[in-house]
Each structure stands twice: as structure tokens, then as C-alpha cells.
């Protein structure tokens, strides 16, 4: 039942995106959106991503609030770096290790870290759980330390929201039960 519900949700979402792209809510756009969604889901299926653990609403809310605050603060910091007089800020590619268990949570953490202005994930080493990020303003040890604290905070909030040890069982273990 869950699989069917997920497929219907995906079709509806893709159809909505199609209608929004056309900008007009009409029967023709809905039908053509449904056809495009069917073609996409049947001819270009995404690989299955195992989802383990449970979502903790309160921890998820803390994560959302943290990201919202960081979006505002980091946007002002990046804007200041763009307009301040003097040479451009020193940038670097930094490596960060994340102690997350799920590939999905690793991808979500990479997305969050890219979303926060001032850093962009360049590469994900899935096996070793490493992220390589291009980071703005690494001209001082304090700025580098601040970046690594931000990564650890995102990691801690992600684990709290999605990967508590008490709820965690790898997908192979679940199938054996």
C-alpha cells in the first residue's frame, strides 16, 4: 500500500510541477501533466533509496529553525564579503566527515550545507562519509573553525531528527525479520 501511495504522490507532484510551469490551471495542462509524469516515472525510474529510522518532529523543527537562522545570517555575511572594500576573501576546498548512517541523511545534510550561503558541496564520498565543500572566507583559523562547527551542528541535528540509535536498523536487517 505504501508503494502505491508513493507512486500516486509522485505522479501528482510531477503533474503539479507541469501545471505550474505552464502557468495556467486547465484540464489540458492537468491531462498533459499526468501523461508527462507517467512517461517520466515509467521510462526514467529513480533507484530505490532505503529509508531507515524515524522522523522526530521536535528535532526536525530545531533543524529547520537552525537552517532558517543560518540562511539569514549567512546571506548577510556573504553580501558583506561581496561589497566590502579590499581584496576578495580567501576560499578553499575543505573536507568534512559526517557520522551519519543513512545515505538519504548524508544527501540531506549535503543539501542543507549547500543551501546555507558560503559553502557548496563539490563531492560526496558515500563510502567514507566525506563531503568536499568549497567554502568562502577561510582567511583565518576562526572562520575555518566556525565552518567545521556549522558542519557538526548540522550533523548533530540531522542525527537527532532522523537517526536515533534506538530506532536504527539497517535495511538488510529489516528484510531478514
39 and 69 assigned to the same domain: no
Task: Show the cell assigned to 32.
Answer: 498533459
CB-based contact 99:89 (threshold 8 Å): no
For residues 32 and 101, state if they share a domain: no
pTM for the full predicted model: 0.71
50, part of any domain: no
Whether residues 25 and 82 share a domain: the answer is: no
**Full domain range(s) for residue 30:** 2-43
Number of domains in the chain: 2
Q: Are 69 and 133 in the same domain?
A: yes
- By CB atoms closer than 10 A (0-12, 13-18, 19+), residue 104 is middle
What are the pLDDT tens digits along the chain (177 aa)? 777 887 888 899 999 999 999 988 899 999 999 999 999 888 988 777 666 667 889 999 999 999 999 999 999 999 998 899 999 999 999 999 999 988 888 999 999 999 998 899 999 999 999 999 999 989 899 999 999 999 999 999 999 998 876 665 665 554 444
Domain membership of residue 174 (yes or no) is no
71 with 155, same domain: the answer is yes
Same domain, 69 and 147: yes
Q: Is residue 173 part of a domain?
A: no
Strands (E), the chain: 92-97, 119-125, 130-135
What's the sign of the alpha-carbon dihedral 139, 142, 145, 150?
negative
Amino acid at each position: 500500500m505504501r508503494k502505491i501511495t508513493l507512486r500516486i504522490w509522485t505522479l501528482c507532484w510531477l503533474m503539479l510541477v507541469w501545471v505550474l510551469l505552464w502557468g495556467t490551471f486547465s484540464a489540458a495542462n492537468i491531462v498533459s501533466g499526468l501523461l508527462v509524469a507517467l512517461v517520466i516515472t515509467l521510462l526514467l525510474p529513480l533507484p530505490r533509496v532505503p529509508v531507515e529510522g524515524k522522523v522526530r518532529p521536535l528535532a526536525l523543527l530545531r533543524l529547520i529553525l537552525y537552517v532558517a537562522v543560518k540562511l539569514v545570517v549567512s546571506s548577510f555575511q556573504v553580501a558583506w564579503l561581496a561589497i566590502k572594500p579590499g581584496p576578495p576573501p580567501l576560499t578553499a576546498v575543505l573536507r568534512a566527515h559526517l557520522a551519519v548512517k543513512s545515505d538519504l541523511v548524508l544527501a540531506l545534510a549535503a543539501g542543507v550545507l549547500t543551501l546555507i550561503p558560503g559553502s557548496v558541496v563539490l563531492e560526496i564520498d558515500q563510502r567514507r562519509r566525506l563531503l568536499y565543500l568549497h567554502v568562502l572566507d577561510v582567511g583565518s583559523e576562526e572562520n575555518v573553525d566556525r565552518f567545521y562547527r556549522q558542519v557538526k551542528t548540522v550533523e548533530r541535528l540531522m542525527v537527532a531528527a532522523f537517526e536515533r540509535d534506538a530506532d536504527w536498523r539497517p535495511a538488510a536487517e529489516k528484510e531478514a525479520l
